[in-house]
Structures are given as C-alpha cells and as structure tokens.
Amino acid sequence: MPTAMTTMATVSTSDMLPHKTSGKGSSTTEATLQSLYNRAARAFLHRDITITFTLLTAAFALLPPPLAPSPDPLDVHRRKWDILRITLETTVFSSTPDIADLPQPLREFLLLSPQSFISTLCARSLTLFTPSSLHRKPSSAFLPHQVLITLVASSIKIDCPSVGREMTEDWLSKRGQYDFVPSTGEPYHKVLELYCLHVLPRLGEWEYVKEFLSYENELSPDKKRELYLALEAQHAHALKSTRRETPKPETPPSPTPIPPLRSLSPASSSSSLSTTIHPHRSVSDSTVTRSPRHRYNQNMPRGSSSASGVRIPRIPPVDHSLASVQPPTSLALVRSYFNHYFTASRIATLSIFFFLIPLMSLIFRRRRRLETPADLVRRRLLEARGDSIVRRLWNELVRAVLDTVRMGGGGLV
C-alpha cells in the first residue's frame, strides 16, 4: 500500500473533526473548512470513501444556508463542498462498491432509481443555496452555475439526461433575478455548451438544438458558430455510428426448385397407374384396375336384363343458387338501358344540340333580322297544310338547326 494510503488509513476520527483556530466569527469557520477540504480531496483521490464522507459530514455541519440574498463569505465553501459531495455520491451510485464498507446514508442512495437519485441531489443543493430569510420554496435562481454543471454531468453519467434537461431549463428560465449570482457571460456559455452538446444530443433532439441556437441572442457570433460546428461534427459522428451498428437485413434463402411432375403416358397399364397414386391413395384398387367382370358387363347388349353391367353416367349436382335468381323485370331492363346509353355527358350533349342551339338560333334570328317574305310564305303554307303540332315542331326544329349551321358557316354566330 502506498505511503499516502497508509497515512490516510491511520487517521483517527478525532483528526477528521473541525479544529479550533484562533480568530473570530467566519474567519475561523473558513479556515476550518479549508483545512477539512484539503484532507477530504486527498481522501477522495485515494478512493477512501469512508474518510471522505466523514469529512463531508463535519464540513456541512458548519455550512448552513445563507441568511439573506446577498454575497456571503461562505459562498465559495458551500460551492466547493457541494460539488465534492455530489461527485462522491455519483461515483458510488454509478459503480459497484462493497456495500458492507459504505456508510448508511450512501447505502440508502443505492436503493433509489437514477431519476430519484438526481432529483434528490438537486433538491438538496437548492435548499443549501436559497436564503433562509426569504421563507420561500428553494429556487434555482440562487444555484451557482458550477453546481448546476456538476448535477447535469452526474445525470449524464448515470444515463438520466432527461432530468439534466429539466434542471438546465429551470436554471435558464430563472437566471438573472439576483445580481450576486453570476449567470451571464462565461457561466452562461458553459451551461449552454453542456446543454446543447451533451444533454439534448443524448435525447436525440438534434433539430431542437439548431432551432434553439437560431433564436438565441446572447452569445457572440464566434461562440455561436463554434457551437454550430461542434454540433454538426457530433451529429455526423452519431449518424455514422448508427449506420455502423445497424445490422444488415438477412437475405431469405432461395426456395428449392420443385421438379416437374412426370406426365403419365396414355398407354400405361392400369397397374402402373395404381402404383403412381399409391402414396395418396384415397380409393381402393378396384376403382382403378377394372376386374374381368366389369369388362364382361361392358360387352353385354343394352337389352340385357342385368342392370349391373349398364354404366349410368353421373349427373352433376344442381346449383340451387342459380335456380333462386329471378329474371329481371321490364322496368329493370329499361332502367339499365337508360343508365347505359343516357349518361350525364350524353344528356348534356343532346341538350345543347336539340335545345340550346335552336334557342340561340331563334334569338339571333329575332334580333338580327325581321321575318322575311319567304318566312311568311313558309309559315302560311304550313298552316294551310294542316299538319299536326308534333310535325310542325319537328319541321321547326329541323329548320332551326339548318339555319344555325348556315349562320355559323357564314360567320354570323
């Protein structure tokens, strides 16, 4: 065992407790906290969980939450000790230590789910940094960005980036409420870098990151361009890894060709036919190979009294569904005829040809010219003939069509 490990193992419990130093007030507490922190950091580096946890417990006994929302001499010590505590507990939670050697509080952490573990650490940190004089719910507006980054990094380490996203977005929404809590410039850039390059990509929110950076207006153009380039490189690497890990679809085996069935020769004997169908035999051999008695009965005359020798052809079964169909009625036939020949397009064409064109012809004739003597003669002749109304309408229709065609050819319509 190295010398440092031997020295750390021989430290007594009394040496871990705060030492009394000269001075008054916060200066004594600060000196004690600094002395304890140096020893706790060395114990953590040497993976001595028990000593580190004992020194953490002694230090937080001297670190209550601040009284007022103003700078506090112990702010630096709260931040350092809280980061060390989060790092120690996350290391224990993400590893497989010997449970028997762990202090009881650390054993209880191992019983939590990753989401509950990170949420518990975050709630404890918010309580530590929220001033007690406000008598309000702990808020991330007082949380230092260094502690937030440590909490988010712990959520990524134990594969729980969704909780890290919630903590970051809560901090971003409440930052800037108090001037003594740094939340602009370098702190804002570091939080945003962790949020855009580590939290959201692990959630697959590539498009949301680009959209978020498009409307972000606090970063300088150089910083924003730097984030864009890093994001594009990370996205390309993720796509390449996904394509590499995606298994190729297996090609199905080609089906084995089935050899064609050998056709039977018409001249094959009855015995060979019986042998061919033997694997799927569903009838007796007597139905395939005719017996001499059957051949004798076939040669008997038709008038023979022996009915067993007469072969009666099998009548196919009657399809009752065909017999149940009723013949179409006359109305159905007429309707089918009209539906087939008088479609909508044909009706429209006939209406234009037999109604619209004669009507237009009549209108144009009335407007463009008066009735000529020839028209008067024609009308009087028709009236003198005494034709029926139907015939007169037909003649008028034919005349209107001819006049329309003539007028169209002459360029009058």
Q: How many domains does the chain have?
A: 2
Last residue of a domain, one of 209, 241, 273: 241
* 368 & 230 share domain: no
* Domain end residue (candidates: 241, 273, 291): 241
pTM of the model: 0.56
Other beta carbons within 10 Å of 356: 11
In three state form, how does the secondary structure of the chain look?
CCHHHHHHHCCCHHHHCCCCCCCCHHHHHHHHHHHHHHHHHHHHHCCCHHHHHHHHHHHHCCCCCCCCCCCCCCHHHHHHHHHHHHHHHHHHHHCCCCHHHCCHHHHHHCCCCHHHHHHHHHHHHHHHHCCHHHCCCCCHHHCCHHHHHHHHHHHHHCCCHHHHHHHHHHHHHHCCCCCCCCCCCHHHHHHHHHHHHHHHHHCCCHHHHHHHHHHCCCCCHHHHHHHHHHHHHHHHHHHHHHHHHCCCCCCCCCCCCCCCCCCCCCCCCHHHHHHHCHHHCCCCHHHCCCCHHHHHHHCCCCCCCCHHHCCCCCCCCCCHHHHCCCCCCHHHHHHHHHHHHCCHHHHHHHHHHHHHHHHHHHHHHHHHCCCCHHHHHHHHHHHHHCCCHHHHHHHHHHHHHHHHHHHHHCCCC
In a domain, 283, yes or no: no
Same domain membership, residue 366 and residue 228: no
Residue 73 is assigned to a structural domain of this protein: yes
Q: Answer whether residue 68 is part of any domain.
A: yes
Same domain? 218 vs 87: yes
Residue 184 lies in a domain: yes
Q: Which of 241, 262, 280 is the last residue of a domain?
A: 241
Query: Is residue 118 a part of any domain in this protein?
Result: yes
Same domain, 368 and 233: no
Domain assignment of residue 2, yes or no = no
Q: Contact at 8 Å (CB) between 118 and 158?
A: yes
User: 92 and 211: one domain?
Assistant: yes
46 domain-assigned: no
Check whether residue 75 and residue 212 sit in a common domain: yes
Blockwise average pLDDT, block size 10, the chain, 413 residues: 36 43 66 96 95 96 93 94 98 88 92 96 97 91 97 97 96 92 93 96 93 91 93 91 69 53 42 39 40 42 40 48 56 69 70 71 61 56 59 71 64 48
Range of the domain at 84: 63-241
Identify whether residues 237 and 356 lie together within a single domain. no
Residue 94 falls inside a structural domain? yes
